């Protein structure tokens, strides 16, 4: 019996097989876990089977086969559908199961979700991640958890399979999501600030290569300036790591969360407006380094705006 339990603990459900979920699936499989994946895109069955995993055609099937489910869907709406939608997970997971929520979601939603799942005997682990698709592929994500300590310890081997840095903030659900939101505040502000700085340098006729190098050499450095700065310097907004619209979403979440706390966040607000303006100009799918376009109208190689589309008075 013990052996059977141990074996079942090695079965991990994985909902959401996008860029993040794929990397996590590969790392779980590499560490010896049996992975049962699910995605609304049924054509991903072939992909996960090729990696050595299984595909569940319904959430009901996944719920019956797994006691630990990791969720990498996009947001709270998709999480709600996965758990409480028609034939959702909640009716099929056995009591004592653990739902590990890795999506970036409103902290208040996550807090309430913990209470709702508890009513069905399901444990929630609030567990947003940072590190992006690259971190997911390498298994080097930072996982910021909150929830019962015993639950965290129980699923630690699962988290360690794809996370290099695990944090447990405490038992209050939503704390992990709060910290993720604050993380996105800084990422978004630093990225917009890099655009503001480099666009001003460009306006003043400074050589952007040396400018970027000098700014990275000292107190003006940020991870975002180092990572996205070269794309701004070269106008390579087609090298898409993460899109402008992701920051429209995340900074929108920052502002909504801050507002719930009656907290004015003027820098986050200014950064949000920069991303939103760039998205509104039709560049929402461009690389997020294109926030620089809010400050500088620089020609983008390959861009050919329709006549009258550019600089049209409103």
By CB under 8 A, residue 144 contacts its own copies: yes
By CB under 8 A, residue 288 contacts its own copies: no
**Which entry of 4, 22, 31, 180 is annotated as an active-site residue?**
180
By CB under 8 A, residue 243 contacts its own copies: no
By CB under 8 A, residue 197 contacts its own copies: yes
Q: Does residue 180 carry a catalytic annotation? A: yes
Of positions 185, 243, 248, 293, contacts its own copies by CB under 8 A: 185
Burial of 153 (0-12, 13-18, 19+ CB in 10 A): exposed
Contacting residues for 167 by C-beta, under 8 A, at least 6 apart: 142, 143, 144, 145
Q: How far is the CB of 207 from its own copies (least distance, A)?
A: 7
Of positions 30, 220, 256, 285, contacts its own copies by CB under 8 A: 220
By CB under 8 A, residue 97 contacts its own copies: no
By CB under 8 A, residue 207 contacts its own copies: yes
Question: Nearer Cβ to its own copies, position 66 or 201?
Answer: 201
Instruction: Give the binding-site size for its own copies (rule: CB under 8 A).
Output: 64
DSSP labels, 249-309: HHHHHHHHHHHHTT---HHHHHHHHHHHHHIIIIITTSBGGGGGGGT-----TT--PPTTT
By CB under 8 A, residue 223 contacts its own copies: yes
Residues within window 248-287 making contact with its own copies, judged by CB under 8 A? 258, 261, 263-271, 273-274
128: which 2 tokens?
A: 């947003």
Handedness of CA 273, 275, 277, 279 (dihedral sign): negative
Q: How far is the CB of 234 from its own copies (least distance, A)?
A: 18
In 10 A of CB 169, how many CB atoms? Answer: 16
By CB under 8 A, residue 2 contacts its own copies: no
By CB under 8 A, residue 5 contacts its own copies: no
Q: Rg for the chain (alpha carbons), in Å?
A: 21
Binding map of its own copies across residues 55-84, x = CB under 8 A, - = no contact: ------------------------------
In 10 A of CB 94, how many CB atoms? Answer: 12
Give the residue from 93, 99, 80, 85 showing the smallest Cα distance to 14.
99
By CB under 8 A, residue 192 contacts its own copies: yes
Give the residue from 24, 74, 72, 83 showing the smallest Cα distance to 48.
24
Residues with a catalytic annotation lie at 180
């Amino acid at each position: 019996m013990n052996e059977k339990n141990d074996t079942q603990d090695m079965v991990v459900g994985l909902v959401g097989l996008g860029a993040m979920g794929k990397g996590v699936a590969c790392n779980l499989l590499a560490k010896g876990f049996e992975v049962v994946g699910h995605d609304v895109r049924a054509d991903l069955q072939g992909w996960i089977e090729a990696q050595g995993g299984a595909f569940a055609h319904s959430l009901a099937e996944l719920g019956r086969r797994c006691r630990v489910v990791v969720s990498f869907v996009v947001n709270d709406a998709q999480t709600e559908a996965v758990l409480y939608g028609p034939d959702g997970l909640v009716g099929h997971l056995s009591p004592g199961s653990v739902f590990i929520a890795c999506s970036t979601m409103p902290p208040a939603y996550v807090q309430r979700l913990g209470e709702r799942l508890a009513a069905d005997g399901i444990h929630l682990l609030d567990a947003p991640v940072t590190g992006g698709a690259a971190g997911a592929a390498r298994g080097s994500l930072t996982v910021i958890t909150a929830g019962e300590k015993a639950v965290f310890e129980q699923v630690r081997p699962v988290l360690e399979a794809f996370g290099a840095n695990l944090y447990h903030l405490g038992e209050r659900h939503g704390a992990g999501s709060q910290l993720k939101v604050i993380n996105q505040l800084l990422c978004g502000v630093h990225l917009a600030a890099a655009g503001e700085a480099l666009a001003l340098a460009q306006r003043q006729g400074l050589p952007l290569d040396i400018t970027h190098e000098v700014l990275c050499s000292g107190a003006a450095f940020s991870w975002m300036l180092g990572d996205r700065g070269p794309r701004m310097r070269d106008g390579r907004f087609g090298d898409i790591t993460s899109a402008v619209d992701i920051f429209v979403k995340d900074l929108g979440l920052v502002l909504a969360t801050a507002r719930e706390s009656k907290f004015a966040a003027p820098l986050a607000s200014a950064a949000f407006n920069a991303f939103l303006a760039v998205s509104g100009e039709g560049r929402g799918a461009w690389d997020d380094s294109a926030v620089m376009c809010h400050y500088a109208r620089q020609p983008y190689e390959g861009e050919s705006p329709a006549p009258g589309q550019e600089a049209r008075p409103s």
